[in-house]
Amino acid sequence: MLLESTFAFVLLSRGLLQDHWTWLLSNYGTNTIAFVGLAFSLLFGYFLGCLPYLLLDKLKIPFLAKYKVQQHFYPDEKMEWNASQVCLGLFLYLMFPMIYLFVRQMGLLQIRVDSELPSAMELLTSQVYFFVAEDFLNYWLHRWLHSKWAYNKIHYMHHEHTAPFALSASYAHPIEVIILGIPTFTGPVILSPHLFTLWLWLMLRTYEAIDIHSGYDLPWSANKYFKFYAGTEHHDYHHFRFSGNFASIFTWCDKLYGTDLGYESFKAQKNE
């Protein structure tokens, strides 16, 4: 839901965004724009993105409550507060320093800061490339995190929530955040995109993670129209069963490597 609506808004508002981009370049230095923009995309984007799902959990609107994957589970205030504290700590003490180091290397990585924003086609093709690269690399690193040693030492923390909710998307061990940050930045490092494209990518990746941890499989979500897009139920099963469905975005890797067999069996039984 968040991913699709955010990307549509950016494409439809490019003219307005160009005016704001020109103003930023006229009033601030490149490093300031890069750091604040990337930090804003992560921190503000994360908590703002969680807000609609938090409201759904509180209001329990009957029309939308029926789309809850694990229908009888709703996070309590203690769980939400704990997840918020952990995620805020990760943003401030881990992700922000990582962003700072990244910004310091922008020249080496050839991240562009052109006065003209990328075209709609460039934005689209770049995001598709980033998502495909992220999905493939994330799949293998996530599978490794389910090895006995890595799970017991690192990944166990993220699986404390067998029924995920929006704020639990980034609830993880700091080492896991670093490891799974590799797929997120691999695409941009290879492609050397415009800075705005990188901002958008981080926000879309954040919203995709929130969507699949939200606990809601809404009827207008992308997986209802594109069968290769995994969606909420696909990842919710992974948390519920602690295994299978390792891919975070698409279904290709799980189908190709046979790690969705339990999920397919589960769906077949559910539909009987």
- Convert the pLDDT of each residue in 57-97 to its tens digit: 988 888 888 888 888 888 999 999 999 999 999 999 999 99
Question: pTM for the full model?
Answer: 0.91
Q: How far apart are the first and last CA of the chain?
A: 28
Tell me how far apart the alpha carbons of residues 40 and 34 are, in angstroms, rounded to a whole number: 10
- Convert the pLDDT of each residue in 226-266 to its tens digit: 888 888 989 998 998 888 899 989 999 999 999 998 888 87
Neighbours of 130 (CB within 10 A): 26
Please name every residue paired with 216 in a beta bridge, in sequence order, or none if there are none.
Answer: 68
Nearest alpha-carbon partner for 6 in 164, 158, 201:
201
Using an 8 Å Cβ cutoff, are 259 and 244 in contact? Answer: yes
